[in-house]
Structure 1
Amino acid sequence: MCYDLAFSNIKFVYDRFPELKEGPFAPFQPTFHKVAQSYPKWPVLTASGKLQLQLFEWGVIAPYMKTAEEIKKSRKWMVNARSEKVLDKKAFWYKIRGQRCLVPATGFFEHREVPGFKQKIPYFIQTKDAPLMLMAGLYSYSPLPDVETGELPGTFTIITRPANEVMGKIHNGGENAGRMPLILDHSMQEKWLEELSDEAIQDLLGYEMPSEQLDYWPVQSIRKPKEDNEQIIKPAHYEQLPGLDDQGGGIMQGELF
């Protein structure tokens, strides 16, 4: 799935979308690791009327979540949406398929199961050709107003899809194994925000980013509290960690950083 993100520089968004007219985005600070289930505020791109960069909370709060107790119980399942469910008329995601957004990041984390290792090995993954990756998302406004402002907070989910070859080798364990975020190609990013037929949505949902367009390396544990800085994404050395079969860029036994 996609539960851990990094986003180091908001300027990357303004460089990619100059029509936003670069300006301060004071509520957002660079981060090298945020966890989905902490429901952090995150910049997302929407295009309802015009292209906007807005601060939404990660983790959709659906209209059927009427109380704080219902939100606490159900929201943790709403940080990701499977691509196969977006056009499934029985799924909630079908109801908000027209509320599409782009979720910017400079990378994400996933864990690899390795025989002989007690703990899964965390990897940091980013795109090779650009510092900014844009993931397909859906958004919804919370039915419960903010207690301070009275406004309905915007919330979002990241769409995941079956993993490409390299991500299948990294995200190889657990009940959600073999998934990755739907990272859109440059030519598809604006299109995702347009008014689309279900057939056009399906075409975009079917896109698989090629393995060779991703960089990846093991890092230290991201489940232990630490200062939010660049050290989190620094390559780590694990003794006797094998590389990913048939993939360049894996970490071979004895390789040092």
Structure 2
Amino acid sequence: MIPYLRGRQLCYDISLHSDIELTKEVFPKIKDKRIIQDSPVYDHISSFAFPQYPVITRQGTELILSELEWSLDPVYEKNPVERRKRRTKMADIQSERVLGDSRSYAHRIRQNRCLIPVTGTYEHRAIQGWAKKVPYYIWPKDRKMQFLPGLFQIIETTGPAGEKKQSSSFGMLTRTANELMANIHNDGEFRHRMPLFLTPELEEFWLSEHFSDTDMKAVFDFMSPSQALDYRTVFSIRGTKPRPDGEPKFEFWRYENLPPLGNDEGLQSQMSLF
């Protein structure tokens, strides 16, 4: 059996509230093969339901924009219940395993490179003494959209009548976090990780027609500086309770007595010292 991807380390929540048409400005030769052409706006989208999401893939000499399901499908798992359970953990892919573990599924599909258009990502921060984690929205400075690298798979199956069916899915690549993201994603088994944020040049390079393992290692080794990102607290990420002010999910929400990043002791913890 091929080891499954330990993908539960972080990013299950993203936003795409910029017009997807901006993708065509960055990649002018891209072919748009989306089924949904009305450029939906995603204030928040979560991987847990395996949603259809616009992703850029290379197919031969062409770049294609099409909808893929978020979260790789562990086809090697034959038990349908276990297969779905494992799939919820495959929204992310640890970049270290792609080249470092030749037995991993990620290694097998490493040349199936894709880019995931987002305007930002969401993450939670834990603070001592606070009952709930504080949600944050993180986005690239001075850019309307960024493209996160990932890997995709195409699965072909045959139905009972011999009909052919094809499904496609993707996972988002992650790495160890920079200082900013480590201070936000500071809790849990896979704390101190972040999406593999790249520069515009490296994003384009990721989808090069000719791309070696050496090229891939160079991309994986890139550490986006904290200064390239901006952030703010938000009302909630996955909560169904509407914001009292009616603003979109990614807009700023103020928390009283919020300690600065890097200080995870709540006000009550600090007062107990005196």
Aligned-partner residue type, residue 228 of structure 2: Q
Equivalent runs, 1:58-207 vs 2, <5 Å? 58-66=70-78, 68-87=80-99, 88-144=101-157, 150-194=164-208, 195-207=210-222
Q: Deviations over 1:57-82 (max 9, x none)?
A: 00001331345334312101211000
The correspondence for 1:7, drawn from 7, 12, 16, is: 16
Bigger Rg over Cα = 2
Contact 1:66 1:144 in 2 (8 A): no
Residue 90 of structure 1 and its aligned partner are, at CA, apart by 2.0
Contact 1:222 1:232 in 2 (8 A): yes
Q: Deviations over 1:33-78 (max 9, x none)?
A: 1111111111111111201101100000133134533431210121
Number of residue equivalences? 245
The correspondence for 1:237, drawn from 251, 254, 257, is: 254
Change (3 A) 1:84 1:21: closer
Aligned-partner residue type, residue 6 of structure 1: S
Contact 2:74 2:86 in 1 (8 A): no
Establish whether residue 35 from structure 1 lines up as the match of residue 50 from structure 2.
Answer: no
* Local SS of the residue matching 1:19: coil
Establish whether residue 218 from structure 1 lines up as the match of residue 233 from structure 2.
Answer: yes
Aligned twin of 1:249: none
Normalised to the residue count of structure 1, the TM-score between the two structures is: 0.87
Residue 183 of structure 1 and its aligned partner are, at CA, apart by 1.6
Residue 216 of structure 1 and its aligned partner are, at CA, apart by 0.2
Change (3 A) 1:86 1:27: farther
Aligned-partner residue type, residue 177 of structure 1: R
For structure 1, the residue ranges without an aligned partner over 5 or more in a row are: 247-257
Residue 226 of structure 1 and its aligned partner are, at CA, apart by 5.1
For structure 2, the residue ranges without an aligned partner over 5 or more in a row are: 1-9, 264-274
Aligned-partner residue type, residue 55 of structure 1: E
* Local SS of the residue matching 1:221: coil
Aligned-partner residue type, residue 14 of structure 2: L
Contact 2:54 2:66 in 1 (8 A): yes
* Local SS of the residue matching 1:167: helix
Q: Once the two structures are aligned, what percentage of the paired residues are identical?
A: 35
* Local SS of the residue matching 1:72: helix
